[in-house]
């Protein structure tokens, strides 16, 4: 049963790996993230039941905030990004989501890791100047 303290993300853009990502962030940082009960797919629709975190969307009222309030919020966001950057990467050097599955970024369009890499390659000059390390990062290492 849903209530004011629970919510369910539903849709084709909601990915089950988001639940694993939120769990990993909660375990490795002090960043407030919703507690995820589970994540699953049924008939092509993804569901992620979780605890609702109280608050308002940042964009609501942003223009009405004082410069001091905006600076405080931006400082908090910087702290969040700093914590995320301190999370050690997985030991295997692959491009994947936190659960080891394919990446998905709804901002790019497409739903496969290869689609992401194609967008990424457009920003990098694959030439003789490209280091071997960079080339290895752009090499397909699995079935996508």
- Asked if 93 and 111 sit in the same domain, the reply is no
Asked, for residue 144, whether it belongs to a domain, the answer is: no
- Asked if 89 and 107 sit in the same domain, the reply is no
Instruction: Give dist(CA 23, CA 138) in Å, integer.
Output: 28
Residue-range definition of the domain harbouring residue 59: 6-101
Helix, strand, or coil (residue 13): coil
Model pTM above 0.95? no
**Are 124 and 138 a contacting pair, CB within 8 Å?**
yes
Question: What are the pLDDT tens digits along the chain (144 aa)?
Answer: 556 655 555 555 556 677 788 888 999 999 998 888 877 777 877 777 888 888 888 888 899 999 999 999 999 999 999 999 998 877 776 777 777 777 666 665 555 555 555 555 555 555 545 556 555 555 545 444
C-alpha angle 102/130/143, rounded to 5°?
25
- Asked if 108 and 96 sit in the same domain, the reply is no
């Amino acid at each position: 049963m849903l209530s004011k303290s629970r919510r369910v993300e539903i849709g084709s853009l909601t990915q089950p790996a988001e639940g694993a990502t939120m769990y990993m962030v909660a375990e490795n940082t002090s960043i407030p993230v919703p507690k995820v009960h589970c994540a699953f797919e049924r008939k092509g629709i993804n569901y992620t039941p979780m605890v609702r975190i109280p608050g308002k969307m940042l964009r609501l009222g942003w223009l009405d905030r004082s410069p001091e309030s905006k600076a405080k919020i931006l400082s908090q966001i910087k702290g969040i990004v700093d914590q995320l950057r301190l999370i050690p990467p997985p030991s295997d050097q692959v491009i994947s989501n936190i659960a080891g599955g394919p990446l998905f970024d709804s901002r790019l369009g497409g739903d496969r890791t290869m689609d992401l890499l194609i967008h990424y390659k457009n920003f990098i000059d694959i030439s003789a100047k490209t280091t071997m390390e960079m080339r290895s990062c752009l090499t397909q290492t699995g079935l996508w």
